[in-house]
Amino acid sequence: MIKKVLVTGSAGFIGFHLTSELLKFGFQVVGIDNLNDYYDVKLKLDRLEVLNEFVSKHKIEEAYRFFELDISNEVTLGKLFKDHSFDIVVNLAAQAGVRYSLKNPQAYINSNLVGFSNILECCRNFKIEHLLFASSSSVYGMNIKQPFSTDDNTDYPISLYAATKKSNELLAHSYSHLFSIPCTGLRFFTVYGPYGRPDMAYYSFTKSINDGVSIDVFNSGDMLRDFTYIDDIIDGIIKLIDHKPACVSNNITNAKAPFQVLNIGNNNPVTLRRFINAIENSVGKKAVENLLPMQPGDVPVTYANIDPLASLCDFRPSTSIEDGIEKFVEWYLQK
Ligand SMILES: NC(=O)c1ccc[n+]([C@@H]2O[C@H](COP(=O)([O-])OP(=O)(O)OC[C@H]3O[C@@H](n4cnc5c(N)ncnc54)[C@H](O)[C@@H]3O)[C@@H](O)[C@H]2O)c1
């Protein structure tokens, strides 16, 4: 039977790529997004346009719907769930970004806490087969042990963004335990690629290097990031749809729940220096660097242990930073 998937945040970077790939795999997809102006709304509309062109080219209009909808509005969200019998929900809608949470905390409370609670209530009321939701590597904060494992303690977030993502995992666990909702939390590690987010370093660095404008390099570029190419991320999410967690207790308490949290990263962190070199080579220009100290809320290293995901569904990210950045820059220069 063809599964019906709700993708929240479908005009966003990951949501757009996921929707597009789900349609290629033959799923029915309903996408929702509030099209907020955290970054250029035109990019969100362009992504939606690509999706519309894809469905009309392949004559699969009946497989795809989009609604402009805010997940923090429980009434309209509830009506959407009532009108469509979703099998799967992938919640990607959120206020993203670590630094912006210093400026506009309310946006994180509304989308990531109120919105996510509404998603959980709807999954409870409409008996969803599997809820997958975006968490983040930022929950690891200043974790000392490398690579980051989902067995590590994540009780010490160092940004409001990270605190909301950790809260999502906790809220989902309680719903999963109480109402037997199969839930998978995905800790994404710095996702990048074409149609990516303008607020992220790979995008703003590419723009500045191309325009001959200086780039702010924090902590002298002495940071490691487990950059993960978008196609590898999408491959992992789609494989996971059919891997609902079993109802087991965790290794710390007796609470049984069909719940899992997984790292989804590249397992191959690169220095900011190598990352900047990859952009310089793809753009064909040298960066002008403005060296600055570490920013509050930033972490020195992100490094994903992905063994659990690899053994669960043969997840093997295969895109090097040089190849991935080249694809991004190719898109950036022709957009
Ligand atoms: N891109 C990354 O590197 C990364 C890393 C870790 C976690 N994540 C998480 O993955 C998810 C997707 O990230 P992304 O990079 O695609 O970000 P994005 O900002 O491009 O996409 C999020 C989308 O959600 C929408 N949205 C926000 N609040 C909403 C609301 N209340 N109702 C409906 N729509 C809303 C936005 O308009 C946006 O289009 C987010 O939850 C993010 O926190 C991303």
Chain segment 5-18, per-residue pLDDT in tens: 999 999 999 999 99
For the Cβ of 180 lying below 6 angstroms from any atom of ligand 1, the answer is: no
Nearest atom of ligand 1 to the alpha carbon of 35: 37
Chain segment 128-139, per-residue pLDDT in tens: 999 999 999 999
Q: Among 7, 8, 14, 204, which is best to mutate for testing ligand 1, by the most ligand atoms less than 8 A from CB? A: 14
Chain segment 258-312, per-residue pLDDT in tens: 999 999 999 999 999 999 999 999 999 999 999 999 887 677 889 999 999 999 9
For the Cβ of 12 lying below 6 angstroms from any atom of ligand 1, the answer is: yes
Chain segment 312-332, per-residue pLDDT in tens: 999 999 999 999 999 999 999
Query: Is residue 202 flagged as an active site residue?
Result: no
pTM of the predicted structure, to 2 decimals: 0.97
For the Cβ of 191 lying below 6 angstroms from any atom of ligand 1, the answer is: yes
Exposed / middle / buried, residue 3 (Cβ in 10 Å: 0-12, 13-18, 19+): middle
For the Cβ of 95 lying below 6 angstroms from any atom of ligand 1, the answer is: yes
CA distances from 105 to 101, 169, 190, 295 (A): 5, 19, 21, 17
User: Going by C-beta distance under 8 Å and a sequence separation of 6 or more, which residues neighbour residue 253?
Assistant: none
Q: Which amino acid, residue 185?
A: G
Q: Considering only CA atoms, which residue is closest to atom 39 of ligand 1?
A: 12
Chain segment 230-256, per-residue pLDDT in tens: 999 999 999 999 999 999 998 889 999
Q: Among residues of the chain, what percentage have pLDDT more than 70?
A: 100
